[in-house]
Amino acid sequence: MLLPRFDYHAPTSLAEALGILAEYRDRASVLAGGTDLLVDMKKRLAAPSQVVALDQVPGLEDMARTKTEVRIGARTTAAALAHSRVLKKRLGLLSEAAGLLGSPLIRNRATIGGNLAHARPAADLVPPLLALGARVVLAQNNGRRETPLKDFFIGPGQTLIRPEEVLTEVIIPAPEPGTGGAFLKLGVRRALERSTVSAAALITLDSGGKNIKAARMALGAVAPTPIRSRGAEQALIGAAAGEEAFMRAAQAAARDARPRGRRTSPEYSLMMVEVLTRRALGLALLNARQ
């Protein structure tokens, strides 16, 4: 399969990259791992006249954890996320999702920034990041801005990123004690699979350890973008952590999902939303009690 021709830029600094994007705007695409962009270009779904590779731009691959937050550079690969010790404590759902993305070969190239920017409805890293309340940093010539991830996606393949911007970092607030999360991915095969349904749950128990103080429930592949299920969250907050609340949350999640029936029937998708939501909440509870 041949790529279409393009002009290639390999900036050696973020500033240089941003300058190129400011000049070419819609005609330029940013290239990180290439596992989305180059596939699209080979299929002629994308044909930018300018490709701006981030390979030589330093400082986009660092992962750091402080008491209040975890910051992940946009070029961090799925493989690095899957093996990360920084993420082990309470952020394991992100490592889990990263470890299920594509294949080992894809994971060595695919980046967190690319997965977010490419914005597929079934993008694996998004539900965990939504559940974790992440925000993204978008840099451009004149500075940078931060956007909560829950507001970031507009439609399939569409985000708030402007043509002159680069997504440089993902910031996750450090979960409080008593918080646990889980991620589940449903598909036909165990590798190289686009999710049929995916679910990410994060719950925080109160000091007594019995009731749910805070909850976030995110679903992938069952709407034009990955979504948070507000219905599920409302069913959980204040409730006693356990099967009864999880069942109600699962039913609410199925009401919030709007599968388009692309890869499987909507009826099946909604049934699986319920199953995965219940199971993810059960696992999140176990994780919270550890």
Q: Where are the beta strands (DSSP E) in 132-271?
A: 135-140, 143-148, 153-155, 158-159, 166-173, 179-186, 197-205, 212-220, 227-228
Rounded-to-integer distance, Cα 93 and Cα 162, Å: 29
DSSP conformation letters of 124-172: TTHHHHHHTT-EEEEEETTEEEEEEGGGTEEETTEES--TT-EEEEEEE
Task: Tokens 């998004």: give the residue.
Answer: 126
190 binds another protein (CB under 8 A): yes
| Of 32-40, 166-174, 243-251, 254-262: span binding another protein (CB under 8 A) | 32-40
79 binds another protein (CB under 8 A): yes
Q: Which residue's CB is nearer to another protein, number 98 or number 205?
A: 98
59 binds another protein (CB under 8 A): no
Answer for which of 56, 141, 158, 265 binds another protein (CB under 8 A) is: 56
113 binds another protein (CB under 8 A): no
Rounded-to-integer distance, Cα 217 and Cα 195, Å: 17
Answer for which of 14, 19, 34, 264 binds another protein (CB under 8 A) is: 34
Which three-class secondary structure state does DSSP give residue 67? coil
Answer for which of 39, 64, 154, 240 binds another protein (CB under 8 A) is: 39
188 binds another protein (CB under 8 A): no
Q: 65 exposed, middle or buried (CB, 10 Å; 0-12, 13-18, 19+)?
A: middle
| Of 4-12, 151-159, 175-183, 235-243: span binding another protein (CB under 8 A) | 4-12
Q: Which residue's CB is nearer to another protein, number 39 or number 271?
A: 39
Give min distance, CB of 38 to another protein, in A. Answer: 5
Q: What does the binding site for another protein look like in residue numbers (CB under 8 A)? A: 1-8, 10, 31, 33-35, 38-39, 42-43, 51, 53, 55-56, 79, 102-106, 108-109, 190-192
